[in-house]
């Protein structure tokens, strides 16, 4: 294990295991043929890709160290890799030396954080996913119209803190359908609901149903707040889970969309489902009697980590891999404007935020 201690972050990180250590899992007999159903889409979304490239390019442009407020994306491998390249992760902008470069993470920040960075003379690069920024704008708009916002999301998640900061006095957080029963609002006819981008679609719809029951005139957001990547990965794992004895989700414990994938798999037919950061965490006993293994990964997971899982599963006899594809994704976002050109003024080929896996 490695331990990040830069700033206030103190995260135990499993040591990256690339290249993979092979032949750890044993090929034990099961009643029928062994196979893997590999969900697609999986892994990196456009917002994560853009944020990770933003840190890489900031290091190229400005040299090490570049400070990053919070984990740039919620994945221990990505964070530890960037740290090894010279990024320093901190919890708050007050930990960044005055005048230094700081990158805001894909999960977004509140206006108070932006102001805090400006007060310290920091050179801020905003890697907030544009789909999170869209929710921020909705919060600002509805707040300025005097509406009260019911934000569906998880307390303590950085995205929720950032969104609430855009309409702090006019937002109430609801974390699940049951919490709707306890909601106290001033004007039941002046409500609008918004949501975190990485929630379970089904659970959120249940929360909305309960909100509508109690507050029939509550207004919907102008468009989906749960992002395309979260929705697509949940649709794919639902299809995989129906036929899976076991589902393995590659993703970190603090990755909301990865944790949701485990829940969705269990709700849609998987007999068991586990989340792992690395293939080395797969336990031999998970494979007892298992014929079909479903595999997917959260939106902040590089494909190399999925490949390690597939390699280890192949060692255990699961070399027959069929992809279950439910959508094509080709969305790309422009990089933050400070980073679109290299030192010669040429537009970097990654400037659109996309990269091959």
Site residues for ligand SF4, 95-124, by CB under 6 A, read 106
First to last CA, the chain: 26
**DSSP secondary structure of 41-93:** S-S--HHHHHHHHHHHHHHHHH-S-EEEES-SSS-HHHHHHHHHTTEEEESSG
- The residue (of 122 and 127) whose beta carbon lies closer to ligand SF4 is 127
Q: Which is nearer to ligand SF4, 46 or 282 (CB)?
A: 46
Tokens 């390019």 correspond to 57
Does position 53 interact with ligand SF4 (CB under 6 A)? The reply is no
Is residue 194 involved in binding ligand SF4 (CB under 6 A)? Answer: no
Burial 307-338 (b: 16+ CB within 10 A, else e): bbbbbbbbbbbbeeeeebebeebeeebebbeb
3-state secondary structure of 325: strand
Contact between 197 and ligand SF4 per CB under 6 A: yes
Cβ–Cβ < 8 Å for 198, 260: yes
270 binds ligand SF4 (CB under 6 A): no
Are 319 and 230 in contact by the 8 Å Cβ rule? The answer is: no
Interface with ligand SF4 (CB under 6 A), residue from 48, 152, 244, 279: 48
Region of 44-52, 168-176, 235-243, 270-278 interacting with ligand SF4 (CB under 6 A): 44-52
Q: Pick the catalytic residue from 159, 186, 285, 349.
A: 159
| 314-353: contacts with ligand SF4 (CB under 6 A) | none
Q: Which of 80, 171, 195, 198 binds ligand SF4 (CB under 6 A)?
A: 198
Nearer of residues 132 and 324 to ligand SF4, judged by Cβ: 132
Of the listed pieces 4-12, 35-43, 129-137, 262-270, which binds ligand SF4 according to CB under 6 A? 129-137
Of 42-50, 61-69, 87-95, 283-291, which segment contacts ligand SF4 by CB under 6 A?
Answer: 42-50
Cα radius of gyration rounded to whole Å, the chain: 21
**Under 8 Å CB-to-CB from 193, ≥6 apart: which residues?**
149, 150, 151, 152, 208, 211, 218, 219, 220, 221
Q: Are 35 and 117 in contact (CB under 8 A)?
A: no
Give me the residue whose beta carbon is nearest to ligand SF4.
47
Tell me: does residue 79 bind ligand SF4 (CB under 6 A): no
Q: Is 227 in the site for ligand SF4 (CB under 6 A)?
A: yes
With the C-alpha atoms ordered 280, 281, 282, 285, is the resulting torsion angle positive or negative? Answer: positive
Taking CB under 6 A as the rule, does residue 255 contact ligand SF4? no
Sequence-distant (≥ 6) Cβ neighbours of residue 281 within 8 angstroms: 14
Per CB under 6 A, 229 contacts ligand SF4: yes
296 in contact with ligand SF4 (CB under 6 A): no
Q: Which of 44, 73, 66, 79 is nearest to 232 (CA)?
A: 44
Q: Is 194 exposed, middle or buried (CB count within 10 Å of its CB: 0-12, 13-18, 19+)?
A: buried
When the beta carbons of 106 and 149 are compared against ligand SF4, the nearer one is 106
- Asked if 164 touches ligand SF4 (CB under 6 A), the answer is no
Has 159 been annotated as catalytic?
Answer: yes
- Residues lying near ligand SF4 in the complex (CB under 6 A) are found at 45-48, 106, 129, 131-132, 197-198, 227, 229-230, 257, 299
Could you give the residue numbers annotated as active site? 159
């Amino acid at each position: 294990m490695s331990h990040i201690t830069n700033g206030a972050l103190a995260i135990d990180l499993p040591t990256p295991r690339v290249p993979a250590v092979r032949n750890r899992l044993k090929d034990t007999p099961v009643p029928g043929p062994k196979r893997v159903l590999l969900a697609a889409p999986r892994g990196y979304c456009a917002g994560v890709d853009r944020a990770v490239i933003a840190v890489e390019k900031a290091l190229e442009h400005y040299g090490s160290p570049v400070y990053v407020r919070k984990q740039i994306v919620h994945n221990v491998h990505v964070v530890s890799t960037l740290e090894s390249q010279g990024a320093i992760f901190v919890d708050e902008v007050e930990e960044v030396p005055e005048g230094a470069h700081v990158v805001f993470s894909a999960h977004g920040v509140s206006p108070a954080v932006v102001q805090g960075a400006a007060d310290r003379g920091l050179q801020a690069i905003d890697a907030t996913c544009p789909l999170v920024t869209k929710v921020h704008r909705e919060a600002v708009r509805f707040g300025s119209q005097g509406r009260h916002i019911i934000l569906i999301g998880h307390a303590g998640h950085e995205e929720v803190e950032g969104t609430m900061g855009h309409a702090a006095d006019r937002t109430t957080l609801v974390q699940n359908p049951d919490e709707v029963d306890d909601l106290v609002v001033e004007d039941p006819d002046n409500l609008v609901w918004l949501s975190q981008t990485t929630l379970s679609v089904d659970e959120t719809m249940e929360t909305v149903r309960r909100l509508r029951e109690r507050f029939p005139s509550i207004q919907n957001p102008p468009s989906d707040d749960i992002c395309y990547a979260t929705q697509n990965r949940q649709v794919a794992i639902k299809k995989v889970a129906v036929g899976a004895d076991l589902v393995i989700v590659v993703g970190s414990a603090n990755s909301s969309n990865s944790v949701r994938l485990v829940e969705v798999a269990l709700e849609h037919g998987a007999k068991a489902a586990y989340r792992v950061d690395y293939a080395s965490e797969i336990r031999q006993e998970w494979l007892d009697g298992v014929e079909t293994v479903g595999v997917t990964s959260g939106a902040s997971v590089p494909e190399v980590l999925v490949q390690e899982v597939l390699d280890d599963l192949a060692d255990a006899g699961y070399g027959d891999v069929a992809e279950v594809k439910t959508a094509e994704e080709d969305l790309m976002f422009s990089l933050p404007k400070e980073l679109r050109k290299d030192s010669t003024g040429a537009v970097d080929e990654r400037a659109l935020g996309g990269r091959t896996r």
